Amino acid sequence: MSETPLFVEVLLENSLARPLDYSVPPHLASRIQVGARVEVPLKTTLKQGTIAAIKKKSVYKQVRPIHRLIVPEGALSEPLWNLAQWMSRYYATPLQKVLKCFVPPHVRKEVKQKLTQTVSLLMTREEAFIQLGIKPSAMHAQLIEALSLAKGPVTVAELISQLKISRSPLETLAKKKILFLDSTPMADLTEEEFFPTYPKQLNAEQSTCLDAIKRSLNEKKFASHLIYGITGSGKTEVYMQAIQYALEQKQSAILLVPEIALTSQTIERLRARFQQKIAVLHHQKSLGERSAAWDNLLKNQTQIVVGARSAIFAPAQNLGLIIVDEEHDSSYKQSDEPPCYHGRDVAVMRAQLEGATVILGSATPSLESYTNAQKGKYHLSILSSRAACALLPRVQIIDMKNTYEKMGGFTHFSEELIDALKERLEKGEQALFFLNKRGYRRQQICATCREAIKCPHCDLALTFHLSSNHLACHMCNFQREQPRVCPSCKSTEALEFKGFGTEHVERSLHALFPSIRTLRMDKDTTQRKNSHEELFMQFRAHKADVLIGTQMIAKGFHFPLATLVGVLHADGALHIPDFRSGEQVFQLITQVAGRAGRAELPGEVIIQTFLPNHPIISHAAAQDYPSFYAAEIEERKMFGYPPFCRLIKILFTGPDAAGVQQAAGHIWHQIKERNIPQAEILPILPAGHPKIKDLYRFQCIIKTTSSVVIDQILPLLPPSTSDLTIKVDVDPISTFF
Ligand code: ADP
Ligand code: ZN
Ligand code: ZN
């Protein structure tokens, strides 16, 4: 009697919307599972896909068999499979696109892992010598001595060069089953050792917080915690002790950190505490290293994962704890390609599906998370003072209108800031200057027609960069020389500059203090791999007096000698017409100010602004999150923005402005005609950046209080073509950009 045939539905990674049927060859029948990766024939090639369903019958007559099951990556666990399906629905993205996030990097890119040959002794030293007989060759004896001293496997290449031998004695002893030759993925062996650190005695607030987390971990069912703890209050210490506890319960843990904070400093801190393998998932790691990390997780050889947003998909076994550090950070949101998911929200959902505990932590929680805590959905813990006895910095707000009047015109630096800097230079301390604009001058303007020189591909004024003597587009990187005639009105009158960037600040500082040592950190100075980190290291080693930078300097690092923070132009981003701009300015100022005086030396923060009485600025200066929250949440309520509703952004782009606008308008009318309840469809408008890289952009924002609205809209959106691309972004970070 033959077995009943089996069929599977396989989702391929190309744009096919529906899964395809394949038959299962008998030898694979016992190993197939929903969520398993398979290789299947399509026309004349083999493609990778994921099994979406298993069934006894297929309606198709001619069904081709699966070619191969891709092991050991195997199947997605049930919670991960459910997470993928939730993401597909919630973020309105086809399942096969979502599944890409869950595929290990080397399978996705089809790159072979780099393997390292290792060798180890299969027996004790004494046993080995007995096996070799009375007169072992000197070389064999030397090998066994060397290997018996090493605790584990040794790299073959290293051993050969150390003992100055060839491979052949190794192979001889391997044949005699005295040695074992093996191949291991690279990353396994490259872990450095760190000076160990031990858990700190927690203060009262930290203890209360950790106790609540431990209770959740004990219950082994879904629970969510929000830690609102000011900068330096010891959140990371609580995370580490929570991870420790999860490990003791034989559970694994994932720690998500913002992209920019994922530096060696964070990783060192973890490695120094946990004397075990940590899977670091970071785009700057090689594919080989990342897939080795993935493998270790699948085999449950690693129980700690740290990484940026995509690490939330790591196949940690028996997952008990997920931590999202700086949960408010916008780098958790993937905006450039679908699925436009938010790492924090996916983390909460994964914790729910795995029955795990999730911790969100921040000095400036997002309005959404704090509201959830207020409603009791998240357990709230507050850490209200700095842990290591460091005091909060003294903060001054400087009205730049007065400064301009006094100085008779523009300057980057108020008298107060200059005096404070002088004092630091005399004492041998350091300062951070923050300005969220890079380049030298912001724009070049025609004196005749007042038009800015724009990028020919984007609707954006070009920025002047002095070091390269070029105008550059910050959107598409287009560069050109300064024009002699105005491209708009052909006037040959001299062009004027407007606005300043970090490069200009650096120059001005040198003009004021000829011997000052500065470092600048922005997109221009951090192009090379690791340059970001090198700059930090240099500054920490006191190679410079002042670090000038954009938002890159706001997070992650800790400079013991930095006692002065200058925020040069605090209100810039407040003018952006976006519901989140106030929140973002508050977060940024609070985070930058938090860099001052984190160690024994007291800190000082000087905030320069034209809006000294603006509530956002004064709340940030006072590091007063609760007052900021109270004011901001009222505005959100009044104007109907999250967390009082959900937003869906539909972005229409294409090469022909009129064409895109017309097509978008047509779709808009169709959506309107549906009269979808609980949905407010706002008019089609040009996006905040109306043109990028020769593509025109229009958008429609939908406000809704129901999660099913997207299901009703999706069928009305035609598939993308070369004339019109449609992107759906659920819970967009911004309604402007
Ligand atoms: P956060 O993550 O909130 O910014 P950290 O965990 O980095 O804070 O703590 C700030 C500093 O205080 C670190 O140097 C840390 O080692 C120290 N620290 C944290 N908790 C304690 C504690 N209970 N006792 C002493 N020092 C602590
Ligand atoms: Zn002109
Ligand atoms: Zn451009």
Q: Whose CA is nearest to atom 6 of ligand 1?
A: 234
d(CA 7, CA 23): 4
Beta pairing partners, 604: 394, 564
Least confident of 6-15, 421-430, 641-650, 719-728: 6-15
Please report the atom of ligand 1 found closest to the CA of residue 233: 3
Between 731 and 183, whose confidence is greater? 731
What are phi and psi for residue 499, nearest 5 degrees?
A: 75, 160
Which ligand lies nearest the alpha carbon of 489?
A: 2
Regarding the beta carbon of 556 and ligand 1, being less than 6 Å apart is answered no
Q: Residue 1: pLDDT band by 50, 70, 90 thresholds?
A: very low
pLDDT above 70 (res 473): yes
The sign of the dihedral angle between the CA atoms of 131, 133, 137, 141 is positive
Regarding the beta carbon of 231 and ligand 1, being less than 6 Å apart is answered yes
- State residue 389's pLDDT score: 62
Q: How far is the CA of 179 from the centre of ligand 2 (A)?
A: 79
3-state secondary structure of 184: strand
- Classify residue 736 by its DSSP letter: -
Q: How far is the CA of 472 from the centre of ligand 3 (A)?
A: 8
Of 393, 326, 384, 392, the residue nearest 204 (C-alpha): 384
Which ligand lies nearest the alpha carbon of 455?
A: 3
Regarding the beta carbon of 235 and ligand 1, being less than 6 Å apart is answered yes
Instruction: Please give the sequence-ordered ranges of beta strands (E in DSSP) within 343-473, or none if there are none.
Output: 357-362, 379-383, 394-399, 430-434, 441-446, 463-465, 470-472
Q: Which two tokens stand for residue 359?
A: 């911790």
Between 292 and 636, whose confidence is greater? 636
Q: Whose CA is nearest to atom 19 of ligand 1?
A: 234
DSSP letters for 202-266: P-HHHHHHHHHHHHHHHHTS-EEEEEEE-TTSSHHHHHHHHHHHHHHTT-EEEEE--GGG-SHHH
Regarding the beta carbon of 202 and ligand 1, being less than 6 Å apart is answered yes
Regarding the beta carbon of 364 and ligand 1, being less than 6 Å apart is answered no
Average pLDDT on 688-706 reads 94
Please report the atom of ligand 1 found closest to the CA of residue 231: 4
Regarding the beta carbon of 591 and ligand 1, being less than 6 Å apart is answered no
Regarding the beta carbon of 387 and ligand 1, being less than 6 Å apart is answered yes
The model's pTM is: 0.84
**pLDDT over 70, % of the chain:** 94
Averaged pLDDT of the chain: 88
Between 387 and 517, whose confidence is greater? 517
pLDDT above 60 (res 187): no
pLDDT above 80 (res 282): no
d(CA 429, CA 365): 31
CA distance readout (Å), 91 to 32, 49, 83, 94, 711: 28, 21, 12, 9, 10
Q: How far is the CA of 390 from the centre of ligand 1 (A)?
A: 10
- State residue 208's pLDDT score: 98
Q: Whose CA is nearest to atom 25 of ligand 1?
A: 388
Average pLDDT on 655-671 reads 96
Average pLDDT on 270-290 reads 80
Q: How far is the CA of 497 from the centre of ligand 2 (A)?
A: 13
**Which residue bears the tokens 């609707």?**
459
Beta pairing partners, 20: 10
Q: Which two tokens stand for residue 79?
A: 């919670």
- State residue 658's pLDDT score: 96
- State residue 702's pLDDT score: 96
- State residue 115's pLDDT score: 56
pLDDT above 50 (res 647): yes
Give every CB contact of residue 67 below 8 A, 6+ residues apart in sequence.
Answer: 38, 39, 40, 41, 46
Q: Residue 214: pLDDT band by 50, 70, 90 thresholds?
A: very high
3-state secondary structure of 310: helix
Q: Residue 184: pLDDT band by 50, 70, 90 thresholds?
A: low
pLDDT above 50 (res 186): no
Which ligand lies nearest the alpha carbon of 445?
A: 2
Q: Rounded to the nearest 5 degrees, what angle is found at the Cα of 186, between the Cα atoms of 185 and 191?
A: 120
- State residue 71's pLDDT score: 60
- State residue 598's pLDDT score: 66
Please report the atom of ligand 1 found closest to the CA of residue 594: 4
Of 433, 420, 596, 605, the residue nearest 502 (C-alpha): 433
Of 162, 186, 496, 212, the residue nearest 380 (C-alpha): 212
Do you find a cis peptide bond into 643, omega within 30 degrees of 0? yes
Asked if residue 430 lies in contact with residue 641, where contact means CB atoms within 8 angstroms, the answer is: no
Best residue for ligand 1 mutational test, from 207, 233, 237 (most atoms within 8 Å of Cβ): 237
Phi-psi region of 79 (alpha: psi -120 to 50; beta: other; left: phi over 0): alpha
Q: How far is the CA of 656 from the centre of ligand 2 (A)?
A: 26
Strand 357-362 and strand 223-229: the pairing is parallel
Q: How far is the CA of 17 from the centre of ligand 1 (A)?
A: 50
pLDDT above 50 (res 637): yes
Asked if residue 113 lies in contact with residue 291, where contact means CB atoms within 8 angstroms, the answer is: yes
Which ligand lies nearest the alpha carbon of 454?
A: 3
d(CA 595, CA 393): 9
Tell how far CA 629 is from the center of its chain. Answer: 25
d(CA 611, CA 364): 21
Q: How far is the CA of 637 from the centre of ligand 2 (A)?
A: 44
One-letter amino acid identity for 48? Q
Please report the atom of ligand 1 found closest to the CA of residue 206: 23
Q: Residue 700: pLDDT band by 50, 70, 90 thresholds?
A: very high
Regarding the beta carbon of 237 and ligand 1, being less than 6 Å apart is answered yes
Task: Looking at 355-399, list the stretches that DSSP marks H as alpha helix, in order from N- to C-terminal side.
Answer: 367-374
Regarding the beta carbon of 206 and ligand 1, being less than 6 Å apart is answered yes
Instruction: Please give the sequence-ordered ranges of beta strands (E in DSSP) within 596-694, or none if there are none.
Output: 604-609, 646-654, 679-681, 685-692
Q: Which two tokens stand for residue 429?
A: 């301390």
**Which residue bears the tokens 């010598």?**
129
**pLDDT over 90, % of the chain:** 52
Q: Which two tokens stand for residue 469?
A: 């003597």
Regarding the beta carbon of 343 and ligand 1, being less than 6 Å apart is answered no
Helix-helix angle 581-593:625-639, to 10 degrees: 170
Regarding the beta carbon of 388 and ligand 1, being less than 6 Å apart is answered yes
Q: How far is the CA of 48 from the centre of ligand 2 (A)?
A: 55
CA distance readout (Å), 22 to 61, 95, 454, 477: 11, 18, 54, 46
- Classify residue 461 by its DSSP letter: B
Asked if residue 10 lies in contact with residue 49, where contact means CB atoms within 8 angstroms, the answer is: yes
Tell me the pLDDT tens digit for each residue of 435-472.
988 888 888 899 888 889 999 999 888 999 988 888 99
d(CA 455, CA 692): 9
Regarding the beta carbon of 555 and ligand 1, being less than 6 Å apart is answered no
pLDDT above 50 (res 111): no
Element (H, E) at 563: strand 562-567
Tell how far CA 497 is from the center of its chain. Answer: 35
pLDDT above 50 (res 189): no
Please report the atom of ligand 1 found closest to the CA of residue 383: 3
Regarding the beta carbon of 130 and ligand 1, being less than 6 Å apart is answered no
Which ligand lies nearest the alpha carbon of 473?
A: 3
Do you find a cis peptide bond into 185, omega within 30 degrees of 0? no
Least confident of 175-179, 477-481, 579-583, 683-687: 175-179
Regarding the beta carbon of 361 and ligand 1, being less than 6 Å apart is answered no
Of 37, 105, 104, the residue nearest 68 (C-alpha): 37
3-state secondary structure of 629: helix
Least confident of 167-171, 207-211, 426-430, 721-725: 167-171
Least confident of 269-283, 398-412, 604-618: 269-283
Tell how far CA 105 is from the center of its chain. Answer: 16
pLDDT above 90 (res 662): yes
Regarding the beta carbon of 381 and ligand 1, being less than 6 Å apart is answered no
Which ligand lies nearest the alpha carbon of 362?
A: 1
Tell me the pLDDT tens digit for each residue of 333-382.
998 889 999 999 999 999 999 999 999 999 999 999 999 999 999 999 99
Q: How far is the CA of 639 from the centre of ligand 1 (A)?
A: 39
Of 350, 303, 367, the residue nearest 733 (C-alpha): 367
- State residue 508's pLDDT score: 94
Beta pairing partners, 701: 649
Tell me the pLDDT tens digit for each residue of 553-576.
887 677 888 999 999 988 878 888
Q: Rounded to the nearest 5 degrees, what angle is found at the Cα of 693, between the Cα atoms of 690 and 698?
A: 25
Which of 36-40, 195-199, 622-626 is modeled with the greatest confidence? 622-626
- State residue 665's pLDDT score: 96
Which ligand lies nearest the alpha carbon of 203?
A: 1
Regarding the beta carbon of 257 and ligand 1, being less than 6 Å apart is answered no
Q: Which two tokens stand for residue 88?
A: 């597909």
Between 138 and 264, whose confidence is greater? 138
Asked if residue 548 lies in contact with residue 521, where contact means CB atoms within 8 angstroms, the answer is: yes
